[in-house]
Amino acid sequence: MERARCDPPAFERLYRKYVAQVYNFALYELRDRHAAEDVTAQVFLRALAGLPRFREQAEPPESSFRTWLFQIARNTISNEHRRARRHPASPLDLAFDHPAPTDVQLAALVRAEVARAWEAIERLPADRRRALVLRFVNEMSTREIGQVLGRSEGATRVLIHRSLQAVARELGRADRVRPRLPRRRAN
């Protein structure tokens, strides 16, 4: 990290490592590929500008850089939300534009169930939704998510658990109306 402050190639390595993660976070929030690209660009330019002021915390350096980067991303996304409210597509719609050809029927059932879970997540408050995206898409630890969202580790853990419970309740209600995904037979 120290090298990245004065060594552009070192910063580029960090950029290559995290660009997809920041892009994912932005895309899940903004649901628009172009808006997500704009935010990703702003985040890395701001990070580059702010690098001399970045202070390492008593953590693995890569981890604290990642949380710092995602704090910038969170602020940039909030500004973008204020600037333009546009949600043309769900992230799942974007992903399922090109479904895999294998096991089409099962894939469709799984997709339907994930889509129902995502519908429930969309109804959650922003911080809960962000916490789930950071946990499952970015695979961050609870501690890292807490740092990004400005909460304690314990509060973040409870936030995620309650979000999962809320989604589980929604799926349970939906099960009473629609049949559940059948168990797959072992070959």
Partner 1 sequence: MQIETDDPAIQSDAYIDALLDGHARLPIGLPLMAPPAGVRRVVRLLEQGLPRFHPSFLFEEQLAAQLRAAAAQSAGTGSDVLPVIDRRLLVGGAFASGVSIAGAFLAWRRRHV
Residues found near partner 1 in the complex (CB under 8 A): 8, 11-12, 15-16, 19-20, 23-24, 27, 34, 36-38, 40-42, 44-46, 48-50, 52, 91-92, 94-96, 110-111, 113-114, 117-118, 132-133, 135-137, 139, 141-142, 154, 157-158, 160-162, 164-165, 167-169, 171-172
Rounded-to-integer distance, Cα 135 and Cα 139, Å: 5
In this complex, which beta carbon is closest to partner 1, that of residue 1 or of residue 41? 41
Q: Shortest distance, CB of residue 187 to partner 1, whole angstroms? A: 19
Q: Where do we find the tokens 């402050």?
A: 5
Three-state SS at 147: helix
Nearer to partner 1, 71 or 92 (CB): 92
What DSSP string describes 57-101? -SS-HHHHHHHHHHHHHHHHHHHHHHH-----S-HHHHHTTS--S
Which of 46, 81 has the CB closer to partner 1?
46
CB of 138 to partner 1, least distance (A): 9
Q: Shortest approach of partner 1 to residue 97 CB, angstroms? A: 10
Query: Which class for 26: exposed (0-12), middle (13-18), buried (19 or more C-beta within 10 A)?
Result: buried
Q: How far is CA 158 from CA 24, 136, 170, 172, in A?
A: 24, 16, 18, 21
Nearest distance in Å: CB 16, partner 1: 8
CB of 20 to partner 1, least distance (A): 5
Closer residue to partner 1, CB minimum distance, 12 or 103: 12
Residues 23 and 17: beta-carbon distance below 8 Å: no
Q: Give the DSSP H/E element, type plus range, for residue 12.
A: helix 8-30
Which of 71, 141 has the CB closer to partner 1? 141
